[in-house]
Structure 1
Amino acid sequence: MPEDPDVPRSSGPSPVTDAPRLRADLLRANYTVDAVLDRIGDLGQAGLGRNMTVPADVALGEAADPLAALIRVFLLQQCVPVDQLAEAVDVAALTSAGFLSHVDGGLRAAVDIRPYGSPDDDASGWVVSDLTPGLDLNMTPTRPDYVLGVSPASTTLAQITMRTTVGSALDLGTGCGVQSLHLRRHADRVVATDVNARALDLARFTAELNRVDIELRAGSLYEPVAGERFDLIVSNPPFVMSPPTADAETLTYREANFEGDRLVETLVRGCGDHLTPGGSLQLLTNWAILDDAWEERLRGWVPQGCDAWFIERERLDVFAYIEMWLTDAGLAGTRRWRPAYDEWLAYFDRLGIRAIGMGWVLITRTDRPEPVLRFESWPHQVAQPVGEVFARNRAAVDASLLPIGQLLASRPALVAVEQETIGQPGAEDPEHVVFRQRVGLLRAVKADTALAAVLGALDGDLTVGQVIGAVAQVLELDASDLAASVLPALRDALADQLLRI
Structure 2
Amino acid sequence: MRNRAGSQPGGAAGAGAALEVGGRSWDDAGVLADDDLERLRSRFIEVDYTVDAIMKLVGDSAQAALGRNNTTPARRRLADDHGPVATLAKLWPLQARVSSDDLDRALPGMRQSLLDTGMIRIDHDQVRALIDLRPYGSDDGAAGWIFSDLTPGLDGPMTPVAEDFVLGVSPASMTLAELTFRRPVGSALDLGTGCGVQSLHLARHADNVVATDVNRRALAMARATMRLNGVDVDLREGSLYEPVADEAFDLIVTNPPYVMSPPATDGRLTYREAGLVGDELVRRVVVDGAARLNPGGSLQVLGNWAQLTGRPWQERLQGWVEPTGCDAHILRREELDPYEYIEIWLADAGLVGSPDYRSRYEAWCDYFDRLGIESVGMGWLTLTRAERERPAITIEDWPYPVEQPIGPAWAERRDAVELARRLSDAELLNRRWQLAPDVEQETVGRPGVADPEAIVLRQQRGFRRAVRAGTVLAGVAGACDGDLRLDQIVGGVATILDLDAQIVAGEVLTEVRQLVVDGLLRESSIQDVE
TM-score normalised per structure 2: 0.90
2:122 corresponds to:
102
Q: Residue deviations 1:139-192, cap 9 Å, x none? A: 321110011100000000000000111000000000000000111111000000
What's the secondary structure of 1:137's corresponding residue? coil
> Within 2, Cα distance between the matches of 1:411 and 1:403?
14
1:355 corresponds to:
375
Q: Residue deviations 1:405-434, cap 9 Å, x none? A: 111112222222122222222233433322
1:316 aligns to 2:336 (yes or no): yes
Structure 1 position 477, deviation (Å): 1.4
User: Pick from 253, 276, 282: which aligns with 2:300?
Assistant: 282
Q: Does the CA-based 8 Å contact 2:187-2:206 persist in structure 1?
A: yes
What's the secondary structure of 1:412's corresponding residue? strand
Q: Residue deviations 1:255-294, cap 9 Å, x none? A: 1101100001011111232100011100010000002011
The residue type paired with residue 191 of structure 1 is V
> Within 1, Cα distance between the matches of 2:303 and 2:461?
23
What's the secondary structure of 1:276's corresponding residue? strand
Structure 1 position 305, deviation (Å): 2.1
- Describe how 1:184-223 pairs up with structure 2 within 5 A: 184-223=203-242
What's the secondary structure of 2:461's corresponding residue? coil
What's the secondary structure of 1:185's corresponding residue? coil
Q: Residue deviations 1:81-137, cap 9 Å, x none? A: 111111112111111121111235311111111111112x21011111111111011
The residue type paired with residue 277 of structure 1 is P
The residue type paired with residue 101 of structure 1 is R
1:3 corresponds to:
none
Structure 1 position 332, deviation (Å): 1.5
- Describe how 1:53-64 pairs up with structure 2 within 5 A: 53-64=71-82
- Cα distance, 1:205–1:394 mapped onto 2, change above 3 Å: same
> Within 2, Cα distance between the matches of 1:195 and 1:452?
53
1:485 corresponds to:
507
2:528 corresponds to:
none
> Within 1, Cα distance between the matches of 2:370 and 2:391?
34
What's the secondary structure of 2:340's corresponding residue? helix
Q: Which runs of 5+ in 1 are unaligned?
A: 1-6
> Within 1, Cα distance between the matches of 2:314 and 2:158?
38
Q: Does the CA-based 8 Å contact 1:79-1:104 persist in structure 2?
A: no
Q: Does the CA-based 8 Å contact 1:362-1:390 persist in structure 2?
A: no
2:448 corresponds to:
426
- Describe how 1:260-299 pairs up with structure 2 within 5 A: 260-291=278-309, 292-299=311-318
Q: Does the CA-based 8 Å contact 2:158-2:348 persist in structure 1?
A: no
> Within 1, Cα distance between the matches of 2:430 and 2:454?
27
- Cα distance, 1:127–1:343 mapped onto 2, change above 3 Å: same
> Within 1, Cα distance between the matches of 2:257 and 2:510?
40
Structure 1 position 500, deviation (Å): 2.0
What's the secondary structure of 1:390's corresponding residue? helix
1:254 aligns to 2:272 (yes or no): yes
User: Pick from 154, 165, 172: which aligns with 2:184?
Assistant: 165
> Within 1, Cα distance between the matches of 2:157 and 2:444?
52
Q: Does the CA-based 8 Å contact 1:431-1:448 persist in structure 2?
A: no
Q: Does the CA-based 8 Å contact 2:19-2:118 persist in structure 1?
A: no
1:409 aligns to 2:430 (yes or no): yes
What's the secondary structure of 1:405's corresponding residue? helix
> Within 2, Cα distance between the matches of 1:167 and 1:459?
37
Q: Which moved more, 1:455-464 or 1:140-149?
A: 455-464
- Cα distance, 1:8–1:271 mapped onto 2, change above 3 Å: closer
Q: Which moved more, 1:311-320 or 1:362-371?
A: 362-371
The residue type paired with residue 221 of structure 1 is L
1:304 corresponds to:
324
Q: Which runs of 5+ in 2 are unaligned?
A: 1-15, 524-530
> Within 2, Cα distance between the matches of 1:462 and 1:31?
54
What's the secondary structure of 1:311's corresponding residue? strand
> Within 2, Cα distance between the matches of 1:395 and 1:136?
46
> Within 2, Cα distance between the matches of 1:8 and 1:200?
16
Structure 1 position 366, deviation (Å): 1.2
1:463 aligns to 2:479 (yes or no): no
What's the secondary structure of 1:298's corresponding residue? helix
Q: Does the CA-based 8 Å contact 1:393-1:495 persist in structure 2?
A: yes
> Within 1, Cα distance between the matches of 2:302 and 2:18?
30
- Cα distance, 1:345–1:220 mapped onto 2, change above 3 Å: same
> Within 1, Cα distance between the matches of 2:410 and 2:194?
23
- Describe how 1:56-95 pairs up with structure 2 within 5 A: 56-89=74-107, 90-95=110-115
Q: Does the CA-based 8 Å contact 2:18-2:165 persist in structure 1?
A: no
What's the secondary structure of 2:414's corresponding residue? helix
Q: Does the CA-based 8 Å contact 2:338-2:376 persist in structure 1?
A: yes
Structure 1 position 8, deviation (Å): 4.5
The residue type paired with residue 110 of structure 1 is L
User: Pick from 439, 462, 473: which aligns with 1:440?
Assistant: 462
> Within 2, Cα distance between the matches of 1:475 and 1:67?
68
Q: Residue deviations 1:449-478, cap 9 Å, x none? A: 221110011122222111101111122111
The residue type paired with residue 225 of structure 1 is V
1:452 corresponds to:
474
What's the secondary structure of 1:371's corresponding residue? coil
Identical aligned pairs, as a percentage?
A: 53
1:332 aligns to 2:348 (yes or no): no
Structure 1 position 304, deviation (Å): 3.0
Q: Residue deviations 1:212-267, cap 9 Å, x none? A: 11110000110000110000000000001111222x52211111101100001011
2:70 corresponds to:
52
2:5 corresponds to:
none
Q: Does the CA-based 8 Å contact 1:191-1:217 persist in structure 2?
A: yes
1:133 aligns to 2:161 (yes or no): no
Greater relative CO, 1 or 2 (CA 8 Å, sep 6+): 2
> Within 2, Cα distance between the matches of 1:398 and 1:62?
58
Q: Does the CA-based 8 Å contact 2:456-2:468 persist in structure 1?
A: yes
